[in-house]
Amino acid sequence: MQTILVILIWAVVQTSLSEEIFFRGFLGNRLFEKLGNGGNVIQAIIFGGIHIVSVVGKGILPMVIIFLLTGGIGYALGWLSRNKADGSIIYGWIIHAAVNIISPIVVFMFLI
């Protein structure tokens, strides 16, 4: 039970909240102010790029898939924040946390 609690705290606070504060709150808002939607594209590219390290050494295909998947999610969360949430990161944080909780469960199920 303690392990599950630690994983939940990690997924919800350490990863999701910190990434939403930085990428959509800080970086995304500043880039959007200067570049409009192009700023959202840039923050999404950077967001996708930092996630590549999770699959370095596994080949180019996993790197491309992770980059496109996380970059696409980053773009969508940036769009949500700017266009539907008045710049708030709350909805993005909730979605991001849910993905961080659910995705390892799905991956684990495929490994059984």
pLDDT for residue 32: 95
pLDDT for residue 2: 85
Token pair belonging to 26: 């800080």
Token pair belonging to 46: 């950077």
pLDDT for residue 6: 86
pLDDT tens for each residue of the chain, 112 residues long: 788 888 889 889 999 999 999 999 999 999 999 999 999 999 999 999 999 999 999 999 999 999 999 999 999 999 999 999 999 999 999 999 999 999 888 887 887 7
Angle at CA 12, nearest 5°, toward 6 and 17?
A: 130
Considering only CA atoms, which of 80, 102, 100 is closest in space to residue 90? 80
Structural domain spans, the chain = 2-111
Cα 3 to chain center, whole Å? 23
Could you give the C-alpha distances from 2 to 8, 31, 49, 100, 111, in angstroms and in order? 10, 40, 32, 18, 23
pLDDT for residue 107: 81
